Copies of this chain bind each other. A is one copy, B any other.
Amino acid sequence: MKLICYFAKKTDSENMIRANDILRKKIYIIIFRSDTRAGQFFDVVLLVLILLSILSVFLESVGSIRERFYQTIHILEWIFTILFTVEYFLRIYASHKPLRYIFSFYGIVDLIAFIPTYLSLFFIGTQYLVVVRAFRLLRVFRILKLTQFLYEGNILRKALRASLYKIVMFLSSVITLVTIIGTLMYIIEGENSGFTSIPMSIYWAIVTITTVGYGDISPQSPLGQMLASILMVIGYGIIAVPTGIVSVEMSRATEEAKAKCPDCSAALHSERDRFCHNCGFQIKN
């Protein structure tokens, strides 16, 4: 009763605000959520647009294509930019807490997805920065089974956070090692073999210890090759260390993420277990 009275009392301007509210709600559901037909359609179209816009940046950078299709790519780029600008402001308009969206990870990525094109009017070379649009592709997880990804992502994140200290120690040891060996190689090999400076030698040491091995610089003297061999074997061997660290933490995080029995708190074998395998407590019917 009260509700009807309230509606009856509203003026035209109030009605307009309400219509506005309904519009905002509609836009919100389409843009931010993906549980309706329209929302899913919007997400797919957006992903296709992002992919096309990244592709056009790629093609523009290829010399032969740029020469022939410069005009077309240029126009396309502006169409994408305007669409993304409109989408950005619609997101701000529709969201409940605009500031929170603007300063969220996705908000910032959405902004720098179209800013570079405008900047390219004033500065040269900034147009390639629109490639940060690639980050927008991470939205794809929203369309796919979200919960499963969140769950798996949590395990990954937990394992990585738990092994942070060990990895920092590992990385500092590696950095110290490549600094020392890089300098030694600079002294041993000298500028004639391509080791033109200590930073260059350290770059070579990183290329070697990570087993990348470009071969643009490589030791020529027997002593240098001996030292390089030692560095390679070290690099080949110590890859076991981060792998071991992450394996152990991943195994522990997986164990902890398992559903627990509410009675004896033993980790259940499967989330669909109806009885606890340990104490026989009935979890579900």
Contact = CB atoms under 8 A, between A and B. Distances in A.
Nearest to A220: B216
B212 A232 contact: yes
A149 B134 contact: no
A241 interface: yes
Contact of A254 (B209, B236, B248): B248
Interface string A139-160: 0110000001100110110010
Interface stretch (A1-9, A22-30, A89-97, A161-169): A161-169
A160 to B, nearest CB: 8
A180 B112 CA distance: 13
Interface stretch (A38-46, A58-66, A71-79, A100-108): A58-66
A225 B207 CA distance: 10
Contact of A176 (B137, B199, B235, B249): B137
A233 interface: yes
B241 A179 contact: no
A210 B235 contact: yes
A262 interface: no
A229 interface: yes
A190 to B, nearest CB: 10
B237 A240 contact: no
A236 B239 contact: yes
A205 B132 CA distance: 16
Nearest to A134: B179
A88 interface: no
A282 interface: no
Interface in A184-205: 186-187, 191, 196-200, 202-203
Interface string A203-240: 10011111111111010001001101100110111011
Given A166-B152, A248-B251, A138 B176 contact: yes
A49 interface: no
Interface of A: 54, 57-58, 61-63, 125, 128-129, 131-132, 134-135, 137-138, 140-141, 148-149, 152-153, 155-156, 159, 165-167, 169-172, 174, 176, 179-180, 183, 186-187, 191, 196-200, 202-203, 206-216, 218, 222, 225-226, 228-229, 232-233, 235-237, 239-252, 254, 265, 277
